[in-house]
Chain A
Amino acid sequence: MIQKKKSNKANIIFILALLILIFVLEQTLPSSSMLLTVVKKSAIYALAAVSMNLLNGFTGLFSLGQAGFMLIGAYVYGMLTIPVADRAAVYQYFDGGIIQFSIVEGLSGVLGNVAGLILGVLISLIIAGAIAGLLAYLVGLPILRLRGDYLAVATLGFAEIIRAFFQWEALGPLTNGSNLLRKFTCLDDFNIVVDGKVAVYLSTTVLVLIVAACILVITLVINSTYGRAFKAIRDDETAAEAMGINLAKHKMMSFVISAFFAGVAGGLLAMYQTTAQAMPFKSAMTYEILLIVVIGGIGSVTGSCLSAFIFIGASEWWLRFLDMEKYNIPGLNILRPGFRKVVFSVVIMIIVLFFRKGIMGENELNIAGFGRWLKQIFTKKKAAVAAAEEGKNNG
């Protein structure tokens, strides 16, 4: 028990240190820096991956509907925070649209700009997640009893149907049909501006903070008695049912929670991209999140976080050179746009075939444990050096 408390403390200190580091980086690096972009995008994908891991990895329900719930979250968030004055321009083909308020503006009027912004964004994100969760409930009622592969295909189907609805012109007054949603409250709105220039950058820090809070909640669920029930369902649902765990209820719980946080991730994605559109939320996005989960280790929260960073970093930044023709070895003309993705896909296949457990398997990265491991290596090294010295002296 004592060891667990110690390691919890170490983890918390580590996360706080990370947040401080990100804050510092944000002030010192130019806002267009690749590192910041990767940090932001990977934080969002980390949340999406952890929410998917809760469902697929911890409860054993193979669902491919993540992109659909993220889509709902992105749109609901955007719809709720576009300033009233801008609505006519955004919804230009639909007479300004049905919704004629903005939660952020409304609260700012009452509580002042800062409180209004923070509270408004948080409430909008929560509503975004809640609506995604509500839809998950409705969708889950008929399909959660389906067996493995059928559940995967049914959720995939629902995600595509949701996407079709969001592109339907008839719903335009609400969703803007096939046009972009824009001008809603974004990450940069959190930067503190003094005299027209940005004094304190907060966009990345705020994002990572929100993501960390969400992942913390998911972890709390996983380590609670309900999380244990989910794992029992994954390992053997017949035994779980025989031990008094109602399958339908708990599967639905996991499904709805996962969809809620996917919705929040969608809202955050909209905040990051400053526009929202149905098109990119295809099954390809779900596959990417699934691959992140697999690479990190199905059943490992820290694995998903690490893997999200590595995945996004590699695909957006470190492997960029593979797309650039100028790095070609003379004579061998393979580097050009698209090569990066090919290399990437091959690496993923290698991991899927040979490293099925992913980076972390089912284990969690534990800072205290990591520190102990490092210590062990150094003491071993010391002992080896000492033994070698002894040997030299004697020989």
Chain B
Amino acid sequence: MQWITNNLPYLLAGISVGGQYALIAIGYTMVYGILRLINFAHGDIFMAAGLIMVYLSASLPFYVAIPLVLILTVLLGFAVERVAYKPLRKAPRMSVMISAIGVSYLIQNVALYITGGLSQMYPSIPWLSDTVTVLGATTKRVTIITPFLTIILIVLLVQLINRTKIGMGMRAVSKDFETSLLMGIKIDNVISVTFIIGSFLAAVGSLLFFTNYTGVTPTVGALPGIKAFVAAVFGGIGSVPGAVIGAFIIGICENIIKAVGWTVFSDAFTFALLIFILIFKPTGLFGEKTTDKV
């Protein structure tokens, strides 16, 4: 019990950041499930959401800025898909990945240009960034809110996937792209909705993340992006629940490592986990195996 109280700040931070990673991870896993594409630009969309908030909140009140951030981020995700991925749908997989890398590069450089390279201070959203006390440890309210909000959003998402028409379309496309096309499923719509949902969740994630870690730099999205991706792979790429579980595990372990004092390796841990999983169970915790026909 004493150990928990001593390390409570780390555990809470772990659960909180795990939830934020989960929101980003869902975007990766859904896009990969449908397009077999690792959307390298997803982490940068998360960062862009943070920057958009910084600039909007300078002149608009929060109840306007927050919805606007969500809308603009969604538009950005949608635009990226239409401009950079859609034209390459018939191209070999390497080409699309290179395009994703190019988009990531572009978004980072635009951010660098606009901010002049200086770290931007994320605004303090009232109520979310208030300090609260939990079991003797002080932390921001956002740390407590994050896991609950994450779970609510995920439950809603799972409902959407399982009970709506478009959700059925998403499940069909991720099982078999070509047959879905032949069966008349509107692929473009399914893909767009996937990107919209992913970007929306990333934007929510950015709201929560940057309330805690307030410095927004052009490259700030790269690391959480990769960690979220690892979470998606760990949980089984294509599986939403898997991505979420993976994200929480990464978030918690990463902070436990910091608690033990090995901060230098807290990031390397994620990569080691990635390689471990790729070697021993590439399909992840909940993934499915596919066989090639010869």
Contact = CB atoms under 8 A, between A and B. Distances in A.
Interface of A: 56, 62, 142-143, 146-150, 152-154, 156-158, 160-161, 164-165, 167-169, 238, 283, 287, 290-291, 294, 298, 336-339, 341-342, 344-346, 348-349, 352-353, 356
Interface string B65-108: 00000000000000000011001100101110111011111100
B275 interface: yes
B274 A153 contact: yes
A164 B265 contact: yes
A153 B102 contact: no
Interface stretch (B5-13, B109-117, B175-183, B247-255): B109-117
A212 B229 CA distance: 39
A283 B103 CA distance: 15
A348 B84 CA distance: 12
Contacts of B110: 342, 345
A287 B98 CA distance: 9
A353 B105 contact: no
A162 to B, nearest CB: 9
A94 B69 CA distance: 49
A356 B89 CA distance: 13
10 smallest CB-CB distances across A and B, nearest first, come from A338-B113, A345-B106, A157-B271, A164-B268, A341-B109, A142-B279, A157-B274, A345-B109, A352-B102, A349-B102
A213 B36 CA distance: 40
Contacts of B88: 353, 356
Contacts of B264: 164, 167-169
Contacts of B117: 337-338
26 contacts: A62-B94, A150-B282, A153-B38, A153-B229, A153-B278, A154-B278, A160-B267, A160-B268, A161-B268, A161-B275, A164-B264, A167-B264, A168-B264, A168-B265, A287-B105, A290-B101, A291-B101, A339-B113, A341-B113, A342-B106, A344-B109, A345-B105, A348-B102, A349-B99, A352-B99, A353-B99
Given A154-B275, A160-B226, A345-B109, 14 more contacts: A142-B275, A148-B93, A150-B278, A152-B97, A157-B272, A161-B268, A165-B268, A168-B264, A283-B222, A337-B116, A342-B106, A344-B109, A345-B106, A353-B99
Contacts of B278: 143, 146, 150, 153-154
B233 interface: yes
Q: Is the contact region of chain A dominated by helix, strand, or loop, or is it mixed?
A: helix
B105 A348 contact: yes
Report the contact-size class of chain B (Cβ under 8 Å from the partner).
35 or more
Interface string B258-294: 0000001101100110110011001000000000101
B98 to A, nearest CB: 5
B272 A161 contact: yes
Nearest to A159: B271
Contact of B93 (A149, A287, A356): A149
A348 B229 CA distance: 25
Contact of A154 (B94, B98, B105, B274): B274
A349 B84 contact: yes
A337 B267 CA distance: 31
A137 to B, nearest CB: 16
Nearest to A170: B264
B275 A157 contact: yes
A336 B205 CA distance: 32
Contacts of B87: 353
B100 to A, nearest CB: 10
A125 B230 CA distance: 35
A157 B273 CA distance: 9
Contact of A149 (B36, B102, B106): B36
Contacts of B103: 349
A283 B101 CA distance: 11
Nearest to A345: B106
Contact of B98 (A168, A344, A352): A352
B112 A338 contact: yes
Interface string B193-221: 00000000000000000000000000000
A337 B117 CA distance: 9
Contacts of A283: 222
A16 B103 CA distance: 39
Nearest to A152: B97
Contacts of B104: 287
A283 B43 CA distance: 14
